[in-house]
Amino acid sequence: MEHRAGIEWSAQTSYVARADFNALIDALLNHGYIVVGPTIRDGAIVFGEVQSDRDFPVGATDVQDGGKYRIGEHTAPTLFSFAASPHSLKTYLYPSRSLLYSAHGSSGNFAVDAPAPQTPARYAFIGVRSCDLHAMNLQDKVFLEGAYVDPGYKHRRENAFLIAVNCGKPAGTCFCVSMGTGPKAPPLFDLALTEICDDSGHYFVVECGSAQGSAILACVPHRPAEATELHAAQEVVRGAERAMGRKLDTTDIKELLYRNAESPRWEKVADRCLSCANCTMVCPTCFCSTVEDTTDLTGAHAERWRVWDSCFTIDFSHIHGGSVRKSGSSRYRHWITHKLASWQDQFGASGCVGCGRCVTWCPVGIDITEEIAILRQTETDHETLPEEQGNARD
Amino acid sequence: MAPAPKPKLAVWKFASCDGCQLSLLDCEDELLAVADAVEIAYFPEATRAVVKGPDDLSLVEGSITTQHDAARIHQVRKSSKRLVTIGACATAGGIQALRNFADVSEYTKYVYANPSYISTLATSTPISRHVYVDFELQGCPINKTQLLEVISAFVHGRKPNIASHSVCIECKRSGTPCVMVTQGTPCMGPITHAGCGSICPSYGRGCYSCFGPMETPNTASLAKWFEKLGDDRAAVLRKFRTFYSGKEAYRKESGRHEPG
């Protein structure tokens, strides 16, 4: 397991006043980016297109727990005092539905249509969290490495401008510290902001991670951050480290899961698991898709679409003769074992970044950190735990 | 060489509200393409003209509630190469399957001035209980885009792209935040068959399960969560006794929430 090495702060950090935040958005817009930032939609803070700070959830925070998300009021008019939403970079870099190709045919001939010329959208994301950058890094391994590179993902990824935000207010379901994936953003960003709002004022300490980042920052009024300001930013991150809502003991976790393929715990979690696939949909690293071929009524036009899929569906493991994972217990076991164990064999890193989305957005609050803790306990006890302990969060 | 004859399409009605077959007429933009691709052989809602069978594709709407219909469906099956049932009535017995939980003669006494004129079965049952069905398209009513997909698939001899997973996948693909998680609104989406495009959650409402149970519905777990969100027994019972009470999973779960 990779453990948190304590990500260093940039040698040079800048100060940007809250009053100049719109200059940052303007600079991105002027550079031709579609600017995506946190917005409130249907009771959640999610990514959406923004034009100015008026689109931001000013002074809002979130309260998250297993199967529960509420927007709350923060004590200060901050722009980023909340944690992960059901959306992540995946929503944009790996869209839920994309056309792979279209084709037409007549009198027995079949020809693939030339793809329509595409100008890939250039997105600038404001408010990307450390967990999300780590997740993007994992999706990069899936889509950009090896013999087959996903061209659509590559276009979107290369054109993305990433403004990270170091978390100051983790949610109740956050556990990035356990996974070594936060809260300090790894140097995969173009710019990284740490928001400070206290007696000394409301401002951002900005780190620069790329030449494009410097170019954008140059369009925004800024000055070198003073030592006290950098210290305040570091305190924000330290505070977030201490405020993790959950933790997951990753000791020996691969072997733990491999040893426990037949644990009685899987049946217990299957009693609650709905196989609804929400956990996989909101997971910023889950990358599975299915391919749908379709024709129109004339039969002369065919299309092949790629859509997000989930290992919790029956069709996902359907091979000759039927589905391989018919039981809920086998599907949950597969998901968590891949995420935390076999992902390491496959990609050299854990597939979990500790964002807590699967915990919050599980309609019945199944908690990956709790399941691992109980699995450990079950193994230690060499017997099934009593019902009431097993279902502590019911 | 003369063009190959077009496949014959027939649309049959049993106990139902006609809403599903009207979904076909609702395909306004695609209607000419449908008429080009198939020969409408029998569709009383659309035309009085009747072309002699047998039919290549029969769409069957409605459930079996009378002796007469129980016999008639065998005639339809005999004259159909492929038989596809459309909608909650045809696939699960529909809203009228609520009679399966009650005494029909009691009902008729209160509803009709002369109940002796009424000849009906004690139950409302899906078509698949009576004859072999090639494909079941869910929904109350069905989704017209899915109907076109099924017709296209059968006309061209391929598998229809109709997923049987949860509505949640549709919500997440379209970016709709979960109403149960953000508002505590009980939502049947996690155990409901996809296909509607998650209409209700996208308007901030819980799913009513008008597409019935999905492939692996864990009704007990969701019902337990509804109670945690504040539903009493009656409220949970009602959620499972609507359009798809005839499906085994919902029939059983609703039974667990009977009073007493």
Task: Burial-class residue B236 by CB neighbours within 10 Å (0-12, 13-18, 19+).
Answer: buried
**Domain extent at residue A325:** 253-289+311-390
User: What's the confidence (pLDDT) of residue B162?
Assistant: 97
pLDDT in the model for residue A7 = 82
Judged by CB atoms closer than 8 Å, whether chains meet at A43 and B184 is answered as no
What's residue B1's pLDDT? Answer: 59
B25/B167 Cα distance (integer angstroms): 26
Same domain, A199 and A77: yes
Residues 6+ apart with CB under 8 A from A94: A139, A143, A153, A287
Q: Are residues A147 and A17 in the same domain?
A: yes
Give yes or no: residues A56 and A137 share one domain.
Answer: yes
Instruction: Based on the fold, state whether residues A267 and A232 are members of the same structural domain.
Output: no
- Section B68-86 average pLDDT: 98
How far the first Cα of chain A sits from its last, in Å, is 31
Q: By percentage, how much of chain B surpasses pLDDT 70?
A: 99
Mean pLDDT of chain B: 96
What crossing angle do the helices spanning B248-255 and B233-240 adopt, rounded to 10°? 170
Q: Give span(s): CATH 3.40.50.700, chain B.
A: 8-155
Min Cα–Cα distance to chain A from B151, Å: 8
pLDDT at A388: 47
In a domain, A271, yes or no: yes
Residue B72 clears pLDDT 70, i.e. is over it: yes
Residue A207 lies in a domain: yes
Beta carbons of B177 and A275 less than 8 Å apart: no
Buried b (16+ CB within 10 A) or exposed e, A152-166: bbebbbebbbbbbbb
Q: Which CATH architecture has domain B8-155?
A: 3-Layer(aba) Sandwich (3.40)
- Domain final position from A215, A242, A269: A242
The pLDDT value given to residue A1: 38
> Of A242, A274, A301, which residue constitutes the final position of a domain?
A242
What pLDDT score does A109 carry?
A: 85
Say how many CB pairs under 8 Å bridge A and B: 142
The reply to whether A346 falls in a domain is: yes
What pLDDT does A382 receive? Answer: 66
pLDDT in tens, A76-121: 999 999 999 999 999 999 999 999 999 998 777 889 998 776 777 8
Judge if A50 and A183 occupy the same domain: yes
pLDDT at A11: 87
When divided into structural domains, chain A yields a total of 2
pTM of the predicted structure, to 2 decimals: 0.94
Closest C-alpha to A134, from A184, A83, A69, A203: A184
Per-residue pLDDT for B64 more than 50?
yes
In this structure, are A49 and A194 located in the same domain?
yes
pLDDT given at position A4? 46
**Averaged over B68-93, what is the pLDDT?**
98
From A242, A273, A298, give the residue that closes a domain.
A242
Window 21-60 of A: residues touching B by CB (8 A cutoff) are: 41-44, 46
A223 and A268 fall within a common domain: no
Contact A328 B215 (CB under 8 A): no
Residues of chain A with pLDDT under 70: 1-6, 117, 382-394
Between B91 and A392, whose confidence is greater? B91
Q: Hey, is the C-beta of A293 within 8 angstroms of any chain B C-beta?
A: yes
| Residue A202 is assigned to a structural domain of this protein | yes
- By Cβ distance, the residue of B178, B184, B218 closest to A275 is B218
State the Cα–Cα distance between residues A89 and A124, nearest whole angstrom. Answer: 11
- A24-69 pLDDT, tens per residue? 999 999 999 999 999 999 999 999 999 999 999 999 999 999 999 9
